Amino acid sequence: MSDRYGDFVQSSIGKKVAKNLGLPLPVTLDRFESGEPLVRGSVLVGRANGDDKSVSESVARILSDVHADVYVNSSDDIKDALADAGVEAKANTGGDDKFKVLLFDASNISNADQLKEVYEFFHTVARRVEKSGRVIIIGRPPENISDIDTALAQRALEGFVKSVGKEFKRGITAQLIYVEDGAEQNLDSTLRFFTSARSAYVSGQVVRVSKGSNVDVDWTQPLGGKTMLVTGASRGIGEAIARVLAREGAHVICLDVPQQQADLQKVASEISGSVLTVDITSDDAGKQIAEAAQKRGGLDSIIHNAGVTRDKTLANMDEKKWDMVIDINLGSIARLNRYLLDNDVLKDNARIVCVSSISGIAGNLGQTNYATSKAGVIGLVNATAKQLEGNAKGMTINAVAPGFIETQMTEAIPFAIREAGRRMNSMSQGGLPVDVAETIAWFASPASGGLNGNIVRVCGQSLLGA
């Protein structure tokens, strides 16, 4: 779908006009390109003073693995951890060097005064972040901390990160990763996602990394040998999910309703996947999915993407519109999960990923049915995550909550509302289906065993429900 205003401001005259009128200035976001390095520029790393070096050690190892070009501030003792991991960090001399990533280990921050170290690290380099840059802070989950001073300081990081996301503009994202004590080894997939172009339209998010069984992966094909099923795969976001999972090495079973067979067949054949035409609300949907999965030895992941809108204000909404949206978007997911779990269709370390929506977080005029269903998806993920916590099979469940994504679904929105939805976020533009797909691929990775019960918005830090 075309964003004419977004295209116009890429021209020099468009840029001038927008600047003079104080209009939003969306930049072209960096996105995954094969052959490009994971991090397309330098990384400035820092850490707050304190005895616990476990986060820094994991960060250093990961930066070494991805061959990042690393800088440190001269006073910073993260240098030792980097040196131990074989990274020869350069000194940030305060000159004109620009950074693609600013990464700060705040896990040692234990009171309000110590938050000053966050200010000091970021203040001096706030103007030196490149376009589509990344700001990442790693802390400890406040809900696990009994000391009040430490808990408040760790919780405070969220306000800092969300404000940076709104301030820095130019496609720069900001995230907070809370890593559980003892789960530092599980940071790999999350740091790789957030430092790279794959997280283009994800900003202002708080992610929790916990203990959980991780599986070693070949990072060039992390989903190699895996069988994954995507519902609603014939077009839009589902098609993008199928393509990204296949790009990462998975065999994808592409599912959609029989009416979409031709489009579905086209997507599946282009990615060497297989086709399953089923209405997910039908009584035998679970059985049909199980049969298709058994042919390939079971499922490593199911992506519950299929969804519909039938918008009407509550007073004008007939029963049919209510029932249909709730059943497709929510009821069927609950039934399918139950069937797949009860019948051992999901393999060890299986990843269940659901697609919610910011409508389910913020609510939306004319969408009581849709917002109810999408909020229900969050409830389903939270409850199932608790059930799966520490399960012997190492399964996880997470969800993405897309904001304004350029698809047929958003094309149907009236112009003025559509334009507002597109601009009311820190990126001043709509996201692309591939942005949702990349986020799902991160959750679906065997290396993401430490992610369970996360709801990550793919919304460019939309103002709605923030």
Q: Judge contact between 449 and 396, C-beta under 8 A.
A: yes
Q: Judge contact between 339 and 345, C-beta under 8 A.
A: yes
- Candidates 129-137, 196-204, 303-311, 447-455: pick the segment binding ligand NAD (CB under 6 A): 303-311
Q: Which helix (H) or strand (E) holds 266?
A: helix 261-270
Nearest to 134 by CA among 182, 111, 112, 101: 101
Binding ligand NAD (rule: CB under 6 A), the pick from 173, 234, 398, 428 is 234
- Candidates 51-59, 229-237, 267-275, 380-388: pick the segment binding ligand NAD (CB under 6 A): 229-237
Binding ligand NAD (rule: CB under 6 A), the pick from 199, 205, 214, 305 is 305
Dist CA 221 CA 71 (whole Å): 29
Cβ density class 1-24: b for 16+ within 10 Å, e for less = eebebbeebeeeebeeebeeeeeb
- Asked if 404 touches ligand NAD (CB under 6 A), the answer is yes
Specify the 3-state DSSP secondary structure of 194.
Answer: helix
- Asked if 236 touches ligand NAD (CB under 6 A), the answer is yes
Q: Judge contact between 31 and 431, C-beta under 8 A.
A: no
Binding ligand NAD (rule: CB under 6 A), the pick from 41, 204, 212, 238 is 238
Binding ligand NAD (rule: CB under 6 A), the pick from 281, 343, 372, 391 is 281
List 71, 178, 201, 370, catalytic entry: 370
- Asked if 279 touches ligand NAD (CB under 6 A), the answer is yes
- Asked if 303 touches ligand NAD (CB under 6 A), the answer is no
How many residues bind ligand NAD (CB under 6 A)? The answer is 27
Q: Judge contact between 233 and 207, C-beta under 8 A.
A: no
* 201 included as an active-site residue: no
- Candidates 114-122, 162-170, 228-236, 314-322: pick the segment binding ligand NAD (CB under 6 A): 228-236
Cβ density class 194-229: b for 16+ within 10 Å, e for less = bbbbbbbbbbbbbbbbbbbbbeebeeeebbeebbbb
Binding ligand NAD (rule: CB under 6 A), the pick from 18, 152, 409, 463 is 409
CB of 354 to ligand NAD, least distance (A): 9
Q: Which is nearer to ligand NAD, 128 or 266 (CB)?
A: 266
Going by the DSSP 8-state scheme, the letter that residue 450 receives in this structure is: T
Per-residue x/- track, 177-216, ligand NAD (CB under 6 A) = ----------------------------------------
Cα angle at 352 between 350 and 356, to 5 degrees?
Answer: 165
CB-CB neighbours of 439 under 10 Å: 29
Binding ligand NAD (rule: CB under 6 A), the pick from 257, 289, 330, 346 is 257
Q: Which is nearer to ligand NAD, 174 or 254 (CB)?
A: 254
CB of 282 to ligand NAD, least distance (A): 8
Residues annotated catalytic, as ranges: 370
